Amino acid sequence: MKQNSPFSLHLLGVVSLCAIAPAETALAAPPAGCATVHASSEEDTPKGLIYHDLSVNAPNGITSLHVKKLVFAGRASSAQATQDLAQAASLLLVSAMTGQHNAACTQWLTEQGKQVVAGLQSGAAYDLTWNNATIEHGAAHVNVATARYQMQGAAGPHTSSASLSMSGLSFHNVANQQLLPSAAQATFSLPTAEIPALISAVGGRSTAAPAVHATISNFEASEGTVRLQGHGQATLTGDVAATSASGHLEITNLEELIEKARTARQMKLAAGLVLGRLVSHRSGEQNTWDTTWTGGVLTVNGFPLPIK
């Protein structure tokens, strides 16, 4: 498995019919060598399929996800298809948050992506909520109070719309954790046909799948009184180094963010933010820019600000 970024936001989930399962259920997929998934119980309710005490463990023995409760609402072609999509969604959560990719997952995740595409094209909508999740990679821990992912077919026949929100984020033994957000959300659309490639790239082999082209209508991340907000276009892959974006960026309370960077001894970032402040437009507590992001470098009105 390959490590990239501790905080990426590429997830996919889905749900529907499943009977109540016995305690300590060992679920059927993903394949050997990809990950092992266990749930203490499952129940089918009017709100959707609920998993209790779900865990996903990577074969490296140091990467895992533990979720107190997972709620799915949606539709799949069969009970087994529903289980596969539920497990794929949770696997993608831990892969996206840790930047871990496992080639043994690639083909299986591609097949799950094809199921999602078929559902979206037939009018299905998917809604997935993780409650009290803990992601671990070695000594690094990320806690998420609530994460929710929603997806449905968009007005255009070849696009799908999605939203992702996370709240109650906290970090332990994560690099520069003082600069990471406690809450984040995004709404975006992407070509439906590109969904399998994105799913495969996030959890599988990161450089094998084609890039996915997303239009971001809104992105927000906040920590305390510091808030970053933007919109634009992005080219997504499973490899953070190959991900790029361009658009409009706003930061509220930039001075506090600069001080946080200095406290974290990220002097290059602090200096870059000071330089960015000089070329920004100021309105009240907000500084705004037209920006591009590529290769870990944020370019603001022509000035590069190295972030990584």
In tens, the pLDDT along 223-233 reads 999 999 999 99
Question: What is the pTM for the complete model shown?
Answer: 0.82
What does the DSSP assignment read for the chain? -B---S--------------B-TTEE-S-S-TTT-EEEEEEEEEETTEEEEEEEEEE-TTSSEEEEEEEEEEES--SSHHHHHHHHHHHHHHHHHHHHT-B-GGGHHHHHHHHHHHHHHHHTT-EEEEEEEEEEEEETTEEEEEEEEEEEEEE-SSTTEEEEEEEEES-EEES-TTGGGS-SEEEEEEEEEGGGHHHHHHHHHS-TTTSPPEEEEEEEEEEEETTEEEEEEEEEEE-SSGGG-EEEEEEEEESHHHHHHHHHHTT-HHHHHHHHHHHHTSEEETTEEEEEEEEETTEEEETTEEEE--
> In this predicted model, what pLDDT tens digit does every residue of 17-71 receive, in sequence order?
222 223 334 445 788 899 999 999 988 777 778 899 999 999 999 999 999 999 9
Supply the pLDDT for residue 32: 83
